[in-house]
Structure 1
């Protein structure tokens, strides 16, 4: 069920144990071959498919599309907000859902730059609503073990505008993908402790994070290898992501998380 498509009385009649998913994303540059809407398009489609899989057992709010993209803002097309502003908007959105009486919320992130504020905001919500369940996760973390079975690129191949995002966009919005401009990109650090991959391949448990702008870590705005992407692979990625998230929704609703 899509929150914005329901009347107020329909939302009021919804079982308050229903899991409410709050998607977060961004509008930012995605290399030479993908649109700036990529993160928002993907997480919104993931939630649409998850909603269809869960039926009346799920309620999905509109995607919070303005994210933390300061590290991309020197690239044309990027829209960004301050970390605190994003945190306040996310807190207020979930707070509104909880004020309406819903007891189970999954904040589902679709943009890496939002990750730190998701954790902070989830902690604030815990203390504001101690009797409710608020979980937060990026979809690639929930589905990572299954996504690894689909990927073909090596360590570093799945990141910003890399194999997975390009494949999924080819599956759901191919007219906005220009594969003639797709090229591998991404400058890894000299130390393997700083190596980047969406699924953590090539990184150890002692990995070190240092904030860098995208100009410092890329040649043309991407990080990964989009050249292995196909629409068929995108559908496979979407399938394992939705299946993994469906299990997470079930566990949250049952109190196992």
Structure 2
């Protein structure tokens, strides 16, 4: 065992790791065409692809159940309480730091996890001031901003199990997607105001947006811009020593 792993020097059997990436997902209904663990599959598979391009990046086991109470009207939703998820994340992040890795990137796959990730990360940062924590809280929003505006046909590709999310699923794990069941509803939501909905108020089929417009080609474009975004960020931060106020810390987009 001592030959396989030296915690102090981070000299693991298969490589030297000084950074870690944590995928955080969920288990909940994604219409009838996507798998229940869709959010975990997307974030974890992206994390693995990112680690293939970044030296010293350790892929942690994903968090497979998040905060999903607001999707609970649809089967088969599993959910942690928000307070529970905060504690789970704090324990995972703290364990990583105690194992000698003090640069952590969180790749989130689910809207309900955003607030718990923020609270847990801030708490761990206070416990371990030397730790560096960064996150991509909403890849589905980031991808839409990074791609040309004409990439998607409906609702800018947004939606739970909608055009964008279904497209990236088709590119990453098409064997788990059954497009003959794809349908969605585009809800009427006001701009610039955040409605605290439960999902059954927005749709009767478990999906919003229009998944019928999804293609693997669109998903591949999303995959590329997201991977490039995070890979460039991690490399840039490595180059500047993760010093946020450094003149060398200009981040590429």
Contact 1:17 1:103 in 2 (8 A): no
Corresponding residue SS for 1:64: coil
Unaligned runs of 5+ in 2: 245-253
Q: Rate the CA distance shift 1:60–1:17 in 2: closer, same or farther, 3 A.
A: closer
Give distance in 2, aligned partners of 1:84 and 1:96. Answer: 18
Single out whichever of 243-252 and 147-156 deviates more from structure 2: 147-156
Q: Secondary structure at the match of 1:88?
A: helix
Q: What's the Cα RMSD here?
A: 2.3
1:19-38 matches, within 5 Å, as 19-38=19-38
Hey, what does 1:225 align to over in structure 2?
A: 210
TM-score by length of 1: 0.84
Matches within 5 A, 1:65-76: 65-76=64-75
Q: CA deviation at 1:16?
A: 8.2
C-alpha distance after superposition, 1:169-204 (max 9, x if no partner) = 112222221212212313223xx23xxxxxxxxxxx
Deviation (angstroms), 1:106: 0.9
Name the count of aligned residue pairs. 236
Correspondence for 1:42 = 42
**Pairing 1:117–2:116 present:** yes
* Structure 1 ranges of 4+ moved more than 4 A: 14-17, 141-144
Matched, 1:145 2:145: yes
Is 2:185 the counterpart of 1:185?
Answer: yes
Please, what TM-score do these two structures have when normalized by structure 2?
0.85
Q: CA 1:105 to 1:150, structure 2 compared with 1: closer, same or farther past 3 Å? A: farther
1:144 and 1:57, CA in 2 relative to 1: closer, same or farther beyond 3 A? farther
Contact kept in structure 2, 1:20 and 1:58, CA below 8 Å: yes
Unaligned runs of 5+ in 1: 1-6, 194-206
Name the structure 2 match of 1:234: 219
